[in-house]
Amino acid sequence: MKKLMLILCLVVLIAPTAALETLTKDNFATPDTQVSPEKDYYFPGDTVSVDYIILPKTEDDMKLIGGEDYKTPRTYTFETALENPYWTIVIRYNYGSATKSEDFTGNKVKVDVYGLVIEGELKGVKYIEANLTGRIPSVTERVEEIDLVSVSVEQAEEDALPPLTVKVVNVQKFSEDISKVRADADKLKSDLDSAGVSYNQSDFDEVYSLLDEAYNLYIQGKYLEADDKINQAEEKLDEIASQADRLKAETLRSKLKDSLDNAYLNLSMLEVALNKIENSQNYTNYLQSYAELKSRYDDVKKDYDAADDLYKDGKYSDAYNSFKELEDDISSLLSDIMTLREKVDAEVTSSPTQGGFGLPALNVELPISPLYLAAALVVAAVAIVAAIKLRGGRRKWDELR
């Protein structure tokens, strides 16, 4: 007897278990859906009734969309964003009037669809119908899509069944967003003016015009049309801001480069002048100040090059912020260089060994830096570049459009 029981247990353990076949959207026909009342959009608090009917695509699929048998059901999970939902879910089998119906509450319900087997034959499922009532919830966006019904199926691809969605309007958000976009446009204009960047006023006029249209549609209750106009205004402002980031960075980059070039030129001229007052009692102090200024120049030039790399990589906003952080340092450096140069030049002029022209005589015995010989050429080059820039003026906004 014990041996017989052991054999039966082994048979049960090794007996094959029915497995569900993996389903795709190709196993389902397009669901039959209905929302009542049927509208283009809804407001929070509206009450709606929903029908969502799941249908097999073919007769063969009838036997697939349900379970294999009573012991191996296929689970369907229904979800909704509605408040206070009440569900009635009906399973209609492909056998006479065989039907199973259950009522549920809650935003998420699970239903086991068993396989109906009659005389050893799996009959399959004609349809699964979900009837739902509930209230439209509040939303945070101007117009937001919510899922009235979404369905996930056990052992099936995620997109096997499409969700049923509706649009919900947040009326208050319209006036808030229109005001915000207008304020953002005003601020961007102010930033461009402060940065000395030229722009096309017509671009901003287009933004303001779209916002005016949006407001008129909004007060008429044409919310979807108003939402479209606000979206267009936001996109246009983003486009302007993207160009503005580049122009702001480019303008400040050019300004700081000119200042650094000027600082380098005057450091070179300082080195030349210092060679001429080696015997001055202030020479050591001047030389120490020069060394400190040269070190500051090297540090700020390194930071400028890092910001310039951001600009060349197209990271215009980051580049502008980095250039902006350097602006005061470069201005202070140039000012300190000019102050020291004025002091040194004054001593060169008053020195009894020097003539009226500030360049050193060629027969001096002091060691001469390569910058000494290049200084005059640098002065001329900078003057030419400055003249060209003055004639060219600022870059036009349309060059980047």
User: What pLDDT, in 10s, does the model give residues 76-127?
Assistant: 999 999 999 999 999 999 988 889 999 999 999 999 999 888 888 888 999 9
How many domains, the chain?
Answer: 3
Tens digits of per-residue pLDDT, 165-205?
999 999 999 999 999 999 999 999 998 888 788 889 999 99
pTM: 0.67
Q: Is residue 26 domain-shared with residue 165, that is, in the same domain?
A: yes
Q: Is residue 165 domain-shared with residue 179, that is, in the same domain?
A: no
Q: Which two tokens stand for residue 369?
A: 């830096």
Give the Cα separation of 329 and 293 in Å (integer): 12
- Ranges of the chain whose pLDDT falls below 50: 1-17, 355-376, 378-401
Instruction: Name the amino acid, one letter, at 30.
Output: T
Q: Is residue 31 domain-shared with residue 164, that is, in the same domain?
A: yes
CATH code assigned at 65: 2.60.40
Domain of 214?
173-243
Is 346 a domain residue?
Answer: yes
Q: Is residue 384 domain-shared with residue 323, that is, in the same domain?
A: yes
Question: b/e per residue, 246-262, with b = 16+ CB within 10 A?
Answer: bbbbbbbbebbebbbeb
Is 10 a domain residue?
Answer: no
Which of these three, 136, 169, 202, is where a domain ends? 169
